[in-house]
Structure 1
């Protein structure tokens, strides 16, 4: 078995890279990922990337914040230390709304940030996982999993036909910045 894990096709133009993705998909070659120095509209659809579940996490964190705010205020104002303020009842729901709103926003913001860092492995102290350092500078890279696709010569020729300026065979999974 080969030590090659990924075949990387380097492109100088995003249109050439999109054309390369189309050519590989036409020949039933699975693409591991594409790395670009800037966002490219429509690349998620071509690669078959699923929609993010971050809005679901945001909703769950928001509901948790709302429930925490309500239960905290209810416990403090009704059970633990009820006060008669201006003849109002201890359970005056309109007074609870601002604090519930603020805790909803707080829990949602922190929850989404933590979920994002956890999912993308970008939390502090972790070295970034990059296939090729030039992908963050000026190159558009298509990574093809060499273990799933056996015909390496066919992949090389398809990438060359699509306009790849360089084709590399990676033996390691990621390159470190160090």
Structure 2
């Protein structure tokens, strides 16, 4: 049994990499992930990646922040320590708007930061997970899971036909920077 976990196709050109993705998909070979040094338009649709749900999380955190500060300000200014300022009522909603707005933004920002770190496993202090160190510099990498039933030689030949400069067989899941 082979110890190869991933087959990496290294490309110089993003168009050749997109052609490589098409070749693999035509032959029903599942692609584990694609690593590029820059954003490529249309790659999400080609790989079938769903839209992010972070917007829903942002809305929920914003609502939570608005509810929390509105409750605090209401309790403080109406029940705990009501003050008569110029004959105005204690529960005047226009007075609550600035606090509510600012806390909505604050909760949304912090909540989105924590949600992003949790969703991507990029916690501060954690070593980055990289398939090939050149993927962050000048190479476009297609990673194919080698544990499938497709022979490795077939995957290698498909990647070479698409224009891969180099095809590597990784035994480890990720490369460390050390």
TM-score by length of 1: 0.98
Q: Equivalents in 1 of 2:50, 2:173: separation in Å?
A: 23
CA 1:149–1:20 in 2, change beyond 3 Å: closer, same or farther?
farther
Q: Equivalents in 2 of 1:131, 1:149: separation in Å?
A: 22
Q: Equivalents in 1 of 2:133, 2:52: separation in Å?
A: 26
Alignment-derived partner of residue 130 in structure 1: 130
Secondary structure (helix, strand or coil) at the match of 1:104 reads: helix
RMSD over equivalenced CA pairs, Å = 0.8
Q: Equivalents in 1 of 2:70, 2:149: separation in Å?
A: 55
Moved over 4 A (4+): none
Alignment-derived partner of residue 139 in structure 1: 139
Alignment-derived partner of residue 56 in structure 1: 56
Q: Equivalents in 1 of 2:24, 2:166: separation in Å?
A: 16
Describe the superposition over 1:19-44 as per-residue Cα deviations: whole angstroms up to 9, x where unpaired: 00000000000000000000101111
> Given the alignment of the two structures, is residue 112 of structure 1 paired with residue 112 of structure 2, yes or no?
yes
Q: Give the aligned length.
A: 178
Q: Equivalents in 2 of 1:2, 1:79: separation in Å?
A: 71
Alignment-derived partner of residue 21 in structure 2: 21
Query: Which of 143-152 and 53-62 deviates more?
Result: 143-152
Q: Which runs of 5+ in 2 are unaligned?
A: none
Describe the superposition over 1:105-159 as per-residue Cα deviations: whole angstroms up to 9, x where unpaired: 0000111111111211222110000000000111000000001243211111100
TM-score by length of 2: 0.98
Q: Equivalents in 1 of 2:13, 2:150: separation in Å?
A: 27
Q: Equivalents in 2 of 1:90, 1:42: separation in Å?
A: 55
Q: Equivalents in 2 of 1:70, 1:87: separation in Å?
A: 22
